[in-house]
Amino acid sequence: MGTLALDNENGSSDVYLSLGLKTSGKGVVKTPRVLSPLSSILERSVQRNEMLLETTNIKEVITIFHGLRAPPLSIRQYIDRICKYSGCSPSCFVVGQIYVDRYLKCTEVHLTSFNVHRLLITSVMLAAKFMDDAFFNNAYYAKVGGVSTAELNRLEMKFLFTIDFRLQVNLETFTKYCSQLEKEAAGVQIERSIQACGIKENWSKSKKEDSTYARTVAR
């Protein structure tokens, strides 16, 4: 197995804890925090690529990872589903992202809503097989991903040959991706805080206006 040693002493341990890749001994995190920034990065990439394809003469490269239509599940919903039913370690989602990037660099494919789901289930499945001590067979992952076993088998082979079976991920690369995800997580949290403050501010302003109106009527 290609298990990564996350108990290093170079300061990255806090990053792993922050993303939910390892526990602090105070309880098991049900939903790893890494899922949120990962889905945010992928969603932004999809939006950017689809805008690029719509506004330029770049022709989209169609592969076996492309569906006839975009799945009804959002990227975040799909990642949550994989996490819930696959039982893979949280680190597999980081490694899966690395695999997807390797695949994209080996091709002229753009990540879009038509291919991101199949790339995700394939890459996370491969990460689980390579990283985890225990994992399910392809038939099970196919049910989780919403594709047939035969299709997932084809996706797996295509993915592996495209990246030249380069499944090994060194600690430096893994840590770099984790740092990017942590920065994304911080940005998402700030954005949510701003939105929450905006709602509270508008609510407070509305309360003041209602109060002023009430005093006016009372006069």
Per the listing, tokens 């806090």 go with 14
Per cent of the chain over pLDDT 70 is: 76
pLDDT digits 0-9 by tens, 66-107? 999 999 999 999 999 999 999 999 999 999 999 999 999 999
Q: Is the dihedral of CA 67, 36, 178, 49 positive or negative?
A: positive
Q: Picking from 4-8, 43-47, 99-103, which range would have the lowest pLDDT averaged per residue?
A: 4-8
- CATH architecture of the domain 31-187 equals Orthogonal Bundle (1.10)
Q: What's the pLDDT band for 195 if we cut at 50, 70, 90?
A: low
Q: Are 173 and 166 in contact (CB under 8 A)?
A: no
Looking at residue 20, its pLDDT comes to: 78
pLDDT (tens digit, 9 = 90+) per residue, 151-187? 999 999 999 999 999 999 999 999 999 999 999 998 7
Least confident among 3-12, 37-46, 68-77, 105-114 = 3-12
pTM, two decimal places: 0.81
CB 138 within 8 Å of CB 74: no
Would you state the pLDDT for residue 143? 98
Place of tokens 């509270």: 200
